[in-house]
Structure 1
């Protein structure tokens, strides 16, 4: 079994470390080893900032996505839809208008209506 050594921390820092250690590791030693390994393997210092956090990056990304969506909608309204409408009108096939067929007129006997008829007078008969 490994031997232990005492390290002095401020009470507030020690309580904070104990709380962190209990939630993520079995022992305080494992927690300290994991933190030291993290900084060693990633070659970073605990004093330097890593850059924007996940929340700020997500917020910026969502703003950019909303901007891209707005641009695409504008393109649809001003370019795509009118162009599609023009192309559809060009390729739209209308049914030809039904015109009466022109047939050769044959002489047909039509009943001609008599416009004037003689008036028969029964008195003037001889």
Structure 2
């Protein structure tokens, strides 16, 4: 039984036999009752603003072009954010870190060879 419609009575519709057979096959594929399948189809057409007389092809192409335009808009916004916000911020942070880093002394090493131990010793020249 259809949920929410248990107490409603049935109404007869005049449908050709071939159309009724086709509709019943479709209802079996959908695993719904005939009433629920018909209600689902009507709500689909109403919600999407589609008329059964219109071709769906141009509508889908229109939707696809609209989605592509929106995606391109999002990409443009992200590039603008990267250009005007992210890159300058990264540059400022890098310059702060470069200034904050202590200067490293250049190590000049002198090589001494000890004759007694035959080892190499290094020392820092200041």
Task: Give the TM-score, by structure 1 length.
Answer: 0.41
Larger radius of gyration between Structure 1 and Structure 2: 1
The structure whose residues are more often strand, as a share, is 2
By relative contact order (CA 8 Å, sep 6+), the higher-ranking structure is 2
The structure whose residues are more often helix, as a share, is 2
